[in-house]
Amino acid sequence: MIEFEHVTKTYPRTHTHALKNVHFSIQKGEFLYITGHSGAGKSTLLSLILRRITPTEGRVFILGQDLSRLRPSRLPLLRRRIGMVFQNHRLLPNMSALDNLVFALRATGERGNLEHRALLALRQVALAHKRKAYPVELSLGEQQRVAIARAMVTNPPLLLCDEPTGNLDPDTSWEILELLNDINIKGTTVVVATHAKELVDQLRRRTIVLRSGQIVRDDDAGGYSL
Ligand SMILES: Nc1ncnc2c1ncn2[C@@H]1O[C@H](COP(=O)(O)OP(=O)(O)OP(=O)(O)O)[C@@H](O)[C@H]1O
């Protein structure tokens, strides 16, 4: 599903070595935390997966494709197969929960009864009853659940989450984590980048710990200790 082959990323303007010789792979169906302090390289790693940036050395393979050989015209197709959840949900404020999902489906060129599919996705995050609500009319946790439904509405095989519980209280964070766990159990590969120690300790799954751009631990037992 994801393979990093001795990947180094140096940002040329500042000569920052954001990742150094990072080597790991993730199988289909895994749940993985990428963790480490601020500046450790988590966002850089996610940006490489999405091919927003390219490695200075090494190669990245996503969903069986060598990204160094991927033609730019194929990039939208790759990104369509990766669901993305951010700390700030980035829902469109002038659209209802349902319309946010319909919009996401339409943007990927899907046709047919999009409202029905959107409603099914909202049901999976237990928010069908809030389908007409605008983001401002939802709690932060509900907004994040809608954002997860939006990421999953196209059934991507891979879900990337960047600090998915960043703004949430502990109980709501736990709900979000349980939701991500359910999504994983149903077969989607889930990668969660976070510096939140509580999160990684609460639901123990494979954990890669980055420190100054290097993998210092890759542990199936999980837990945060650096
Ligand atoms: N576009 C960029 N240009 C130059 N340096 C960058 C750029 N983006 C990140 N860096 C640097 O690369 C290193 C890794 O940053 P990155 O954002 O990947 O870390 P992070 O673990 O995601 O941190 P945080 O948890 O604070 O988001 C840091 O030293 C950062 O200053």
- Give distance in angstroms: CA of 101 to centre of ligand 1: 31
Which residues sit opposite 27 in a β-bridge? none
User: If you take atom 31 of ligand 1, which residue's CA is the nearest one?
Assistant: 39
**What's the one-letter identity of residue 123?**
R
- Give distance in angstroms: CA of 74 to centre of ligand 1: 27
User: If you take atom 28 of ligand 1, which residue's CA is the nearest one?
Assistant: 39
- Give distance in angstroms: CA of 42 to centre of ligand 1: 8
The answer, yes or no, to whether any atom of ligand 1 lies below 6 A from the CB of 73, is no
- Give distance in angstroms: CA of 125 to centre of ligand 1: 32
Dist. CA 133–CA 158, nearest whole Å: 28
Residue listed under structure tokens 């590969």: 189
Q: What's the confidence (pLDDT) of residue 224?
A: 64
Q: Where are the alpha helices (DSSP H) in 16-168?
A: 42-49, 75-80, 97-107, 114-124, 140-152
- Give distance in angstroms: CA of 19 to centre of ligand 1: 9
Dist. CA 110–CA 173, nearest whole Å: 31
> For every one of its 226 residues, what pLDDT tens digit does the chain have, with 9 covering 90 and above?
999 999 999 999 999 999 999 999 999 999 999 999 989 999 999 999 999 999 999 999 999 899 999 999 999 889 889 999 988 778 999 999 999 999 999 998 888 899 999 999 999 999 999 999 999 999 999 999 999 999 999 999 999 999 999 878 989 999 999 999 999 999 999 999 998 888 888 888 999 999 999 999 998 876 666 5
CB atoms within 10 A of CB 118: 26
CB atoms within 10 A of CB 108: 14
The answer, yes or no, to whether any atom of ligand 1 lies below 6 A from the CB of 195, is yes
The answer, yes or no, to whether any atom of ligand 1 lies below 6 A from the CB of 41, is yes
Judge if pTM exceeds 0.95.
Answer: no
Which residues sit opposite 26 in a β-bridge? 2
Best of 9, 10, 33, 42 to mutate for ligand 1, by most ligand atoms within 8 A of CB?
Answer: 42
Q: What's the confidence (pLDDT) of residue 86?
A: 87
For 16-34, the three-class secondary structure string (H helix, E strand, C coil) is: EEEEEEEEEEECCCCEEEE
- At 11 the three-state DSSP class reads strand
The answer, yes or no, to whether any atom of ligand 1 lies below 6 A from the CB of 43, is yes
**What's the one-letter identity of residue 54?**
T
The answer, yes or no, to whether any atom of ligand 1 lies below 6 A from the CB of 39, is yes
- At 206 the three-state DSSP class reads strand
